[in-house]
Structure 1
Amino acid sequence: MTRAMHPVGPFDEPGVGCAAETTQGLGGWNDILREHFVSLDVDETVDTDREFVSSVRSTLVGHLSAAVVSSVRQSARRTPGLVRVDPRTYLQVGMVTRGRAVLEQDGREAVLTPGHYAVYETDRPFAWHFDGPWTLNVLTWPRELVPLGVDVTRAATARTLGRDRLGTIVGHALAETATAPPDLGETAAGRLAGQLAALLGTAVGESLRRDEVLSPGSAEDLRARVDEYVVDHLADPDLGPEEIARAFFISVRTLHRVFADGDLSVSALIRTRRLQHARRRLLDPRDAALSLTEIAHSCGFADLASFSRRFKQEFHEAPATYRRRAGFIMRG
């Protein structure tokens, strides 16, 4: 095995760094993969009658590791045992530029040929299968720095991307970063890493939206996640079905269909959570100095009139009267 530079893990140092390694043996290949990515097992079905030449060249661009990986026919697996002993959690994209690959994760498999790519995550088992010589661009982000919900990425793993115009545009940007990484200052490199993650999220979201793919689990699970999202965004006056559908990468029609089996529609859920939050704030001594208008705005209501009307419909009492009565009761 020869080393062009001392290898580094994907995120061992900030800024832009580079490491390259080449090996001619299977034994050292597992070590290289672990040093540059995460622990993987390369199976013993590798064609040992042929020269085993494999290489990795990785570059740090802010918090993104951009790598070009080449090797021969093999399968590389991230087993449950390896996940336990090597718990590093990344979101990765693998893009085939030579050969053919199959990526497996979360009960799905993506067949990739040159130009196609797929998302996978390292906190769960996955496997790559290559039936001949191959080259793969691999982009790796720390999972916590990718602005995509867990339910979204679990629905997106092992799905072939890069087959439509948007996917091709995003794929080109990812490929350029891996094959010709720019030499940037730390701030610019971090910004680029974040922007590429956002671009990837756009491609993933449009793919899921087009295929009407819901996150794993029942409609009840999705309703619970939407409820949490609503509670976290009550102050947003634009909160509505369209924004929620975008956040979960589903169509508005699908969102309404999921809530059709629940107790409340999406709009009713938003209204109910806003009014419940407003009632709590009217009772909170810490908010005693706030006007009714300020409380209304903090709960996402456009104005005091609409807030008062909705509050009285829900609780059969005007908010000003409720606040005075509750204050009197608490003082007494």
Structure 2
Amino acid sequence: MDLVFTTEGLEPSKRYAAWQGAICDVYVNVDVNAEKRSDYQGFIREARFGPVTMTDVLLSEQRITRRERHIAKLDKDCYYVEFVQQGQVNVLQAGQTLHSNPAVGAIFSAAEAYDLECIGRVRSLYLEIPRKEFASRFNEHKIPVAATIATARGLGRIAAEFCSTLASEGAALEEAARTRLGGELLDVLALALDMGDNYELSEDDTAQKARLRSVKDWIEEHLTDPDLSPEKIARSNGVSVRHLHYLFRLNDVSVSEWVLDRRLQRCYDVLTRPELRSLSVTEVAYRLGFHSSSHFSTVFRRKFGHSPSDLRKR
């Protein structure tokens, strides 16, 4: 994905103002309000798949607001679909509050007033979808306005994982293939919404999901620890190892598999960033907690279909 803007490399005291000027006043036409501004962190990367624009976004805790004066500057009518990778975002639109997190995505209108409450540091994939093209996939009375998408199971999970795969592999594809895949992504999203794949969590499920998000956030902050183990994760988060494994079964994945996948995704990000090209593949592996460069190369190839060095050459 192409880097649009990042606060990395800027003096901490200047990051928030730079983010406002480059992103909020120009790129997306919104207002932001972040209480912790002294060391703001954020980036936006972008890729296009035919009619779909995909952005990979890192945000510090903040509130994002779009009102009529912002909407008046828009030159397109579209939807936003959000798949949260880390953290939690509350979407407020048309009198509704949509709670999105790694288990629940959200779709809402870009051309109507909204608020986004980013709780903690948030990493998300956003899709910008032309309204007319997406609406053609629905009967008139079923066109979505603001809705959630369950991403832990069923068609919602297929859509979210399809989106993640495009984000990581799309750069190597030719334009014709990217355009075709963008159309197919719209089909999958429409099917997930049309089949009623959104859901309400019970109070018990909500508590467990919230606990799981908290543990995942802690892991994200400690991925570079080479001694990160289920026992250490459980002890640091005040749960038993058995309960830790139970929490991760909610996502149909073991805690060790999830840690490995996040490390690999983080390594992929580092290896594709031109400003970090001075780091060798081995340095990247060790910085993200791997004990062996050969093991890193093996599991990286197994997940992404090519070696870390091949990715660098691309």
TM-score (norm 2): 0.55
Equivalent residue letter for 1:30: Q
Matched residue of 1:132: which SS?
A: strand
Q: Is the counterpart of residue 162 in structure 1 residue 151 in structure 2?
A: yes
Q: 1:158 to 1:78 in 2, by over 3 A?
A: farther
Following superposition of structure 1 onto structure 2, how do residues 116-127 of structure 1 map, counting pairs within 5 Å? 116-127=104-115
Q: Kindly, what percent of the aligned residue pairs are identical?
A: 19
Q: 1:28 to 1:144 in 2, by over 3 A?
A: farther
2-structure distance, mates of 1:99, 1:69:
12
- Give how far 1:189 is off: 1.7
Q: 1:37 to 1:199 in 2, by over 3 A?
A: farther
Q: 1:93 to 1:33 in 2, by over 3 A?
A: farther
Q: Is the counterpart of residue 55 in structure 1 residue 39 in structure 2?
A: no
Equivalent residue letter for 1:132: G
2-structure distance, mates of 1:141, 1:106:
19
- Give how far 1:200 is off: 0.3
Aligned twin of 2:18:
28
Question: C-alpha deviations, 1:170-195, integer Å up to 9, x for none?
Answer: 21111222343243323222111111
1-structure distance, mates of 2:16, 2:110:
22
2-structure distance, mates of 1:165, 1:138:
20
Q: Is the counterpart of residue 95 in structure 1 residue 83 in structure 2?
A: yes
Q: 1:168 to 1:202 in 2, by over 3 A?
A: same
- Give how far 1:35 is off: 8.2
Q: 1:113 to 1:92 in 2, by over 3 A?
A: same
Q: 1:158 to 1:81 in 2, by over 3 A?
A: farther
What RMSD in Å do the two structures reach over aligned CA positions? 2.6
Q: 1:60 to 1:106 in 2, by over 3 A?
A: same
On the 8 A contact 1:104/1:158 being kept in 2, the answer is: no
Q: 1:208 to 1:61 in 2, by over 3 A?
A: closer
Q: 1:78 to 1:137 in 2, by over 3 A?
A: same
- Give how far 1:138 is off: 0.8
Following superposition of structure 1 onto structure 2, how do residues 155-304 of structure 1 map, counting pairs within 5 Å? 155=145, 157-207=146-196
Aligned twin of 1:284:
none
Q: 1:180 to 1:76 in 2, by over 3 A?
A: farther
On the 8 A contact 2:86/2:102 being kept in 1, the answer is: yes
1-structure distance, mates of 2:25, 2:129:
15
2-structure distance, mates of 1:71, 1:104:
18
- Quick one: which of 70, 73, 90 aligns to 2:61? 73
Equivalent residue letter for 1:136: S
Matched residue of 2:185: which SS?
A: helix
TM-score (norm 1): 0.52
Q: 1:209 to 1:38 in 2, by over 3 A?
A: closer
Which runs of no fewer than 5 residues in structure 2 stay unpaired? 201-314
